[in-house]
Amino acid sequence: MTSGLLFACVGAGLFVMGGSGVLLLKHLLRRILAFNLMGSGAFLVLVGMAQRHGIADPVTQAMVLTGIVVAVAATALALALVRHLYRLSGKLELPEAADDD
């Protein structure tokens, strides 16, 4: 087992963990954390699978590099929206729909 394949599997685990966090957690800051875990997991799968035979692949590495920078912009935008929501409603959770759950 190469380290590429190993970390791709870890990335799959992180992606699913983050995904269930986004679904289950109520606090919005925690949801943003979970969303970031999902992103990191996806990046690990991309790079790990591309070099699962042990040779570094510059194309995926460059793509993931752009992805990381976009992820931080998305996080900042999400935080701005959370702050705006708090200013308007005083809550840090999304309102549950009545027929949800």
Partner 1 sequence: MKRLVVIPAALFFVLVLILALVDLAPPAFDLRPLVAENLASSGVAHPVTAVLLNYRAYDTLLEIGVLLLALMAILAVSGSPRTTSNTSLSASDPLLAMLGRIAAPVMVVVAVYLLWAGTSRPGGAFQAGAVLAALAVLLHLTGLLAGWQQPGVRLRWGLAGGFLLFLSVGALLLLVEGELLRYPPAHAGVLILLIESGLTLSLGLILAGLFLFLSHDQGGPR
Partner 2 sequence: MSLGLSFDLLLGASLLWSGWRALSTPRLDRALVLFIVFGLLMTLTWARLAAPDIALAEAAIGAGLTGALLLDAYGVLQAKRLAAEARK
Mutual angle of helices 3-24 and 28-50, in 10-degree steps: 160
Site residues (CB under 8 A) for partner 1, limited to 45-64: 45, 49, 53, 55, 57-59, 61-63
- What is the end-to-end Cα distance of the chain in Å, rounded? 42
Count Cβ atoms below 10 Å from residue 22 Cβ, excluding itself: 16
Q: Which residues bind partner 1 (CB under 8 A)?
A: 5, 8-9, 12-13, 15-17, 19-20, 23-24, 45, 49, 53, 55, 57-59, 61-63, 65-66, 69-70, 72-74, 76-77, 79-81, 83-84, 86-88, 90, 101
